[in-house]
Amino acid sequence: MAGIGFELRRVCLEEAGTYARVRAYATAGLVAAGPWLVTLASLWFVRLMAGQLGFADVDRFFALVSVVFAASLVTTGGLQMAGTRWLADQLYVGEHGVLVPAFSRLFGVVAAVQAVTAAGLGAWCGVEFAVLAPLVVLYVAVSLAWLAFVWLSLVRQHDRILWTFLGGGAVFAGTLLLVGPGADLVRLLWIYALSNALVVAAMVVLIVRGTEAATAEHEPRLRGLLQRPSLWWIGTGYALSLWIDKVVFWFGDGVRHGGVPSHPLYDTCFYLAYLTVVPAMAVNLVHLETGFYERYRGFYAAIEQRATLADIRERAAGLRASLERSAGALLRVQGAFTFFAFWFAPELAAAFGLPEFAGHTLRLAVIGAFCHVLLLLTVLVLLYFDRRLAASRTVGVFLVLNALLACASLYAGPSTYGLGYGLAALAALMWGVLELRTTLARLDYVTFVRR
């Protein structure tokens, strides 16, 4: 389940030199937040070059891309969560040969469903066909990227993964410079959609080549994806909670570009804030999840081997201690980045062309993103212990509070923009930590008695 994290940790521990560590953490950051980083870098490049190359209808382009990423993440969030559990189950029982056939089948189903969904919604909203065609390609490509990331954790070719994303960004930038001068909305969308499709194709190649080949007797049984509906709710609910405050601001205080809602100031502040938590995702992948996972496997191995209760409890104590150490290291690293971003928020806002008062919103967004990433990791640890009900409650708290407090922020005025998100993430984090502490304090009881 830690996937590529073990290989990246080996690089950090065994290969000397700063370059090896930078390469490992850069790859971890790209694996953990690849589509998001590629999107932000691409949009920033479009904004940077818009004036020089004479792009037309740039604001509508940004609005459409935001809607595509929001809708694709919400509609595939449940499948990502259920697919991750199904994948882990197949690895546990040694059914490695079903992984590629299952991926191929899901890939085709998701592509077809998302294409029909995007085309139908676009036509219903009155989007002109010239814009709808590249929009459907982009929506399908982004949706497939979310799915491919679940399987990409199997591939330990970290260098190739790193170069895949860097290459995709370079292709987009180069194509934009080559054929983009004077580009209208349709041309921008086609360039961006095809660049994303190229990255997805490269991810597929990495997955197929880096995963055990199927044999004739391996027939994927995908019914297992539907056996745990609570995972579908957790994945969908979490993705929706990530975007619900943006949707509230889009329709409550935003602007419309050709019928597409957006809130440029709020959206930009939060896109920048999410960049500041990439270090936490990288540290989690390289250290926290791998070290914790080893202790986790040791605890359940003792149970399977019918160890004594004293030994089982000793391993549970070691698991808790490992999690606390890793969490402390993550807090130190991410805390430093968050403090830096909070302190220089006005300068960052000015560098991205935002008005002066946006620095206040960015500061609130940075604090909220810090709590949010800790909330995400808390939910993931709860799911390690199959505490699906606890994870569902935690996600539900975040979803409801984020929506309600976003509405309250709109009512209170611009000085509170971002405060609702931060308070919602903090409250949900506190709830999740209490759920996790209860689980860890009674791990033997939870394991043997509770469901």
What digits encode the pLDDT tens for the residues 148-170? 888 877 776 666 777 787 788 88
Predicted confidence at residue 100, as pLDDT, reads 82
Which of 143-147, 207-211, 241-245 is predicted most confidently?
241-245
In the chain, what are the domain boundaries?
5-227, 273-448
Confidence label for 86 from pLDDT (cuts 50, 70 and 90) = confident
Q: Is the pLDDT of residue 441 over 90?
A: no
Question: Mean pLDDT over residues 339-358, rounded?
Answer: 88
Which residues lie closer than 8 Å to 105 by C-beta, 6 or more apart? 220, 222
Confidence label for 241 from pLDDT (cuts 50, 70 and 90) = very high
Q: Which residue has the tokens 């699906």?
A: 388
Q: Do residues 73 and 189 make contact, with C-beta atoms less than 8 angstroms apart?
A: no
Give the span between the Cα atoms of 213 and 142, in whole angstroms. 26
Predicted confidence at residue 1, as pLDDT, reads 41
**120-129, 289-298, 407-416, 427-436: least confident range:** 289-298
| Closest to 279 measured CA to CA, from 326, 205, 336 | 336
Question: Mean pLDDT over residues 335-364, rounded?
Answer: 89
Give the span between the Cα atoms of 278 and 66, in whole angstroms. 19
Q: Is the pLDDT of residue 306 over 60?
A: yes
Predicted confidence at residue 158, as pLDDT, reads 62
Confidence label for 103 from pLDDT (cuts 50, 70 and 90) = confident
Rg (CA), the chain: 22
The residue among 183 and 382 whose pLDDT is bigger is 382
Average predicted confidence (pLDDT) for the chain: 84
Question: Mean pLDDT over residues 355-365, rounded?
Answer: 90
- pLDDT tens for 287-305 read 666 777 778 888 888 888 8
What is the SS3 string spanning 192-211? Answer: HHHHHHHHHHHHHHHHHHHC
Q: Which amino acid, 232?
A: W
Confidence label for 3 from pLDDT (cuts 50, 70 and 90) = low
Q: Strand, coil or helix: what is 262?
A: strand
Predicted confidence at residue 34, as pLDDT, reads 64
Question: Mean pLDDT over residues 76-85, rounded?
Answer: 90
Predicted confidence at residue 48, as pLDDT, reads 78
Q: Is the pLDDT of residue 83 over 50?
A: yes
- Reported pTM: 0.88
Tokens describing residue 56: 């037309």
Q: How many CA atoms lie within 13 A of 256 on its CB side?
A: 6
- pLDDT tens for 107-131 read 899 999 999 999 988 887 778 888 8
